[in-house]
Amino acid sequence: MSRTRVVVTGMGTTNPVGGDVATTWEGLQAGRSGVRRLTDDWAESMPVKIAGRIAVEPSEILDRVKARRLDRSAQFALIAAAEAWADAGFEGTASEAGLDGDRVGVAFASGIGGVTTLLSNYDTLLEKGPRRVSPLAVPMLMPNAPAANISLTYGARAAAQTPVSACASGAEGVALATDQIRLGRADVVLAGGTEAAIHPLPIAAFANMMALSKNDGDPTTVSRPWDTARDGFVLGEGAGVLVLESLEHAQARGARIYAEVLGTGISADAHDIAQPDPAGRGGSRAISGALRDGDIDPASIVHVNAHATSTPQGDIAEGLMLHATLGAHVDQVVVSGTKSMTGHLLGGAGAVESIATIKALHHRLAPPTINLDHQDPQVELDIATKPRELPTGDIAALNNSFGFGGANVAVVFGSI
């Protein structure tokens, strides 16, 4: 694989904190939670009654007819992609923007896929019979539907990949996009992930496996990474998209560059289908792999946007990973847990958190972790509870993502 340098030239998101990147960044810096009490009729019977709904509904943005042909997860994907594409300076399709569509790719993930489409059509089948099931159900529910619709919208023909690695999926999309460019298969790739799983069945399933917090207090205080009172994650929804390009391609067209993808690492725990390796060995291999991939000195890492879901075991394991990979330098690293505000976006998490990591580098300001009242003594990290300034000069930041099945992805971004 070549050492082609890969840079970020566009970003887009829709999530519980904001309907675009600017609003999201302002909300994260302000410590604003997007977690709310669910108002759906079905929520009253659920063991968990809170979640992170997106701040701006797709109906306020997308054409109504087009939206009806898309699962909610794909709706989020197209909204975030449109912002990222325009932010990168492109208009219309790839060819209309002066690009060769054969050199534009997609690496866009989902952890679960079109679960709301699947379950609603199953309800229709039971209640009204097979003739009433939507003929669009399969192209709406398939996990690669968001990637396919992005490819169709922008005429991106290099590839339309869909990594499905649970909660690590969005970050894996960024890693695969980086590989596409380094392998010479594309000049520009739309990368990231999406999820829309706020539905009775996923909520009941996550709750019954003791993964979700059952705290029924103020919804904005329930997601609390590293706090001694944490008892599980808060389900969220949303999407994030990055436009990645080779540095040469970006410079040739005079593009604004936010950051560089310095290195990526992927590993598997091979430990348990749901629980992380308690020693954090798998995640450590992913982080070490990202550092090796970019020939990165651990001392250049000044900030980590951690996976930090608020699960008792996961938060401790991630702390061990950072100590194992960054050594004594970990004491000089500012750590943020933005899921304290967004909730856990599953397949969209790694993408949205990549955006937060890049914005932190770009503005030299790490976002806070909210709801951290009493830090777990087993987690020996410098966790920002207020916005924290980052150093000047050439610096790097790490984004971690881990998922069920033992999936681990680490991405290191560098200032430029």
* Residues with a known catalytic role: 167, 307, 344
Residue 91: what are its φ and ψ, rounded to 5°? -130, 140
Residue 208: what are its φ and ψ, rounded to 5°? -70, -25
For residue 60, the one-letter residue type is E
Pick from 204, 162, 174: which is nearest to 73 by CA?
162
**Distance (Å, whole) CA 328 – CA 366:** 20
**Distance (Å, whole) CA 116 – CA 119:** 5
Read out DSSP for 36-55?
EE--SGGGGGSS--EEB--S
Longest distance between any two alpha carbons in the chain, whole Å = 64
Give the containing element (helix H, strand E) for 153.
helix 145-154
Give the containing element (helix H, strand E) for 265.
strand 259-268
Looking at the DSSP bridge assignments, the partners of residue 383 are: 335
Pick from 194, 80, 68, 199: which is nearest to 137 by CA?
68
The position carrying tokens 């999406």 is 194
> How many C-beta atoms surround the C-beta of residue 42 within 10 A?
10
Pick from 416, 362, 411, 40: which is nearest to 193 by CA?
411
Pick from 332, 299, 358: which is nearest to 7 by CA?
358
**Which three-class secondary structure state does DSSP give residue 191?**
strand
Residue 392 half-sphere exposure toward CB, CA atoms < 13 A: 0
Q: Which residues contact 1 (CB under 8 A, 6 or more apart)?
A: 179, 182, 183
| CA torsion angle 347 109 242 296 (round to 10) | 80
**Distance (Å, whole) CA 306 – CA 338:** 8
The position carrying tokens 């866009």 is 108
Q: What is the DSSP letter of 276?
A: P
